[in-house]
Structures are given as structure tokens and as C-alpha cells.
Amino acid sequence: MSKFNTLLFDLDGTLTDSQEGIINCMRCAVEKMGYDMPEDTQKFLGPPLYQSFAEFLGMNEEQVNEAVKIFRERYSTVGLFENRVYDGISEMLQRLKNDGLRLMVATSKPRDYAVRILERFGLLPFFEVVGGAELDGTRNYKHEVIEYVLEKAGITDRSGVLMIGDRKQDVLGAHKTGLKCMGILWGYGSYEELTEAGTDLIAKTPKEAADMLSA
């Protein structure tokens, strides 16, 4: 029997495969800013936008803000729907919901975009709370989003809460807020990345995750 009663899910790389939309919008912003797109595009999948532009391209604050603006101009109309739900996700969520677990989303993506994506793909009804970043750049890091979700859900006892995600940011954000984390391997992160970050559990498929977490 699972000891967790509340599950916080990452969105990109965990519930949906959003790689196409993110990379297309990233390339648009990078090229318009006069930079060359790095060969390793996978590193853009997971970290907050502001961090990616600064860390991977060396942009200053003014450039970062402009690049984010360009990214979002395309993403808000086209990019967010260059996306698909991973096989087995709906079945996993339905099973966990039927078992009485509280399901929530904690993503570094702006909350407005997250809600639109979940609604578009029929996943929104599964979730009690959807937490994400704000478009002005506040609540940008995973630990900040997690804190927001816990507050919105009225959760004070964190012992029964589990974060579920595919990148080291999910693991580190969970641990910073006192939560355990399940790393999943159907997304963008590797087994090595997740274990090096100190993930507490590993699941290879949505079905395996449901098997491990069903009450």
C-alpha cells in the first residue's frame, strides 16, 4: 500500500511530450536574438526559460527578457499545442484518482499555459490544483511552484506528498521543500541524471508508476 496520499505532477516530459513546441519556439527566439542554437537542444527541456537563456546562451537580463517575450509570442498561439499526451497517462491518472489520491500539477511553465494544455488534452478534470509560474517571471523555480501548490491545497503535513517528474529540477525542488520525488524515465531525463540528483523512486512507465502508487 502506498504511503502517499497526494501526488504533484510535472507537466512537460511527464504528462505530455512538449518537445516539438518548446524547441521550435526556442529556436525562433534564439535566432531572432542573433544567437546560434546549441546542438544539444535537450538541455532546454526542463529548466525555466529565464534560466535557460542566461545559462546556456550567456544572455544578460535585458536580452533574457526580450528572448522570453519572443518565445512566448509563438508559444502562446502555436507552440503549446505542438504537444501530445504520453501513452498510458490518462489510464494512470484515472487509476490513481479512483484510488482516492489527490492529484495536482506543479510545473515551471506559466500556469495559464499549463491549464490550456491540460484542458485541450482532456486532463484538467483529474487535477485539484494546477500550479505554475507567473508570466512576469515570479514563482519561476520548481520549489516555489511546489510551495504554491501546497498552500493552495491547504496541505500542512508533507509526509504524504510525492513529487513526480522527469528532470533533476523536479528532484531538487521536491527535496528543497521537504518532499520525496519519483523520477520517471518516459520523459526527457535519464536514469543517471535522476539518480545523481537523489531521486527517491524510479518508474519506467506510467503503468509501473501507478502500480507503485496505487493505494
- Catalytic residue numbers read 10
Alpha-carbon gap, residue 19 to 66, rounded angstroms: 22
State CA 210 to chain mean position distance: 18
Residues recorded for the chain: 215
Contacts of residue 32, Cβ cutoff 8 Å, sequence gap at least 6 = 70
Alpha-carbon gap, residue 148 to 114, rounded angstroms: 15
Continuous H helices in the chain: 19-32, 49-57, 61-75, 89-98, 111-120, 142-153, 168-176, 191-197, 206-213
